[in-house]
Amino acid sequence: MSRQEVRELTADASAAGLRLDRYLTDATGLPRSQIQRLIEAGRVLVEGRCPKASSAVLPGQRIRLSIPPPQPSTLTPEPIPLDILYEDTDLLVLNKPAGLVVHPAPGHPGGTLVHALLYHCPDLPGIGEERRPGMVHRLDKETSGVMVVAKTDSAMASLARQFKARRVKKTYIALVHGEVKQVEGRVEAEIGRHERDRKRMAVRTRKGRKAVTTYRVMKRLDGYTLLQLHPETGRTHQIRVHLSAIGHAIVGDKIYGGRREQKFRVSGFGFRVQAERQLLHAWKLGFFHPRTDEWMEFEAPLPADFTNWLHTEPRRPQ
């Protein structure tokens, strides 16, 4: 029978001025929501006392966490095929297809990547959050490409720290509207929730979080540009929001594409059919192995729907 895990640590100088839940998220690699649940359940003690999640941490304070054993998942594993690029006892790297939702959410109770992973890795429940086991990062439903999944608590903590410290190298490819003039560029604009539509993100100067994306032109097409992108930060919808903000929305992006996504794609004297999804692909992912500290880098080729659209010639209206 599994026993609870006890972790003890002493807050260092980096804790000064931080909320307890924020500090423990950074120090342990556990999801903030899980840390908050542990605090609410009285499973976190600071100098022997039960604190609040908002309590300020002081350097030198002794903190004790009692983490209960993982509970059986309430999600039903599903035999959904996975395109696995690499796997060992610590982690799994896969090529996510466009159209696959990463984790259960309202409107998507089943058929997600999590359901597929639970079928492939029966020991995954308990690694991270119950409805997001092993999930260190995510890709939008319509975005394809490389993802890494943690298979142990230690791998989860290591990868989470690497993402937070920006040690993970992420490279995307996107096809955007218009001709991007500069060969290379940098977009630095804070991102936050849209003031009127809470399901969308937007460039904001108030209540926004720092976000940086660099890009390089790979190829210019007739009215479009193929870009290679490196998000230095990891904000929700960051690449999509930044490209839309500079006037080069991703082809097929129905949320941030504006009027261009409400009609046929104009190209020369003809037109292209509308892209079935946003043409954004997580091409490469590099990180340090959580156990060996070896640098690893993985690549997923552009999927057929992306390359087919690139090679489709504009058609004249009948």
Amino acid at 93: V
Q: Token pair of 146, please?
A: 């490389």
Active-site hit among 140, 197, 253, 293: 140
Q: Residue 311's pLDDT is what?
A: 81
Instruction: Provide the pLDDT confidence category of residue 206 given band limits of 50, 70 and 90.
Output: confident
Q: Residue 266's pLDDT is what?
A: 44
pLDDT at 318 over 60: no
Write down how long the chain is: 318
SS3 for 147? strand
Q: Residue 127's pLDDT is what?
A: 78
Q: Which domains does the chain have, with CATH numbers?
A: 5-67 (3.10.290.10), 72-161 (3.30.2350.10), 170-282+305-311 (3.30.2350.10)
Identify the bridge partners of residue 185 per DSSP, sorted by sequence position.
215
pLDDT at 198 over 80: no
Q: Residue 272's pLDDT is what?
A: 55
**Spatial separation of the C-alpha atoms in residues 227 and 173, rounded to whole Å:** 6
More confident residue, 231 or 198: 231
Asked whether the beta carbons of 136 and 163 are under 8 A apart, the reply is yes
What is the chain's mean pLDDT, rounded? 88
227-285 pLDDT, tens digit per residue, is 999 999 999 999 999 999 999 999 999 999 876 665 444 444 344 557 889 999 999 99
Q: Token pair of 212, please?
A: 């940086």
Asked whether the beta carbons of 66 and 6 are under 8 A apart, the reply is yes
**Spatial separation of the C-alpha atoms in residues 159 and 7, rounded to whole Å:** 19
User: Where does residue 47 fall: left (phi above 0), alpha (psi -120 to 50 degrees), or beta otherwise?
Assistant: left
Q: Is 140 annotated in the active site?
A: yes
98-153 pLDDT, tens digit per residue, is 999 998 887 788 999 999 999 999 888 777 777 788 999 999 999 999 999 999 88
pLDDT at 317 over 70: no
Please list, in sequence order, all residues whose beta carbon lies within 8 angstroms of the beta carbon of residue 29, skipping any fewer than 6 positions away.
Answer: 156, 157, 158, 159, 160, 161
3-state helix, strand, coil in the chain (%, to 5): 20, 30, 50
pLDDT at 1 over 70: no
The single-letter DSSP state of residue 274 is P
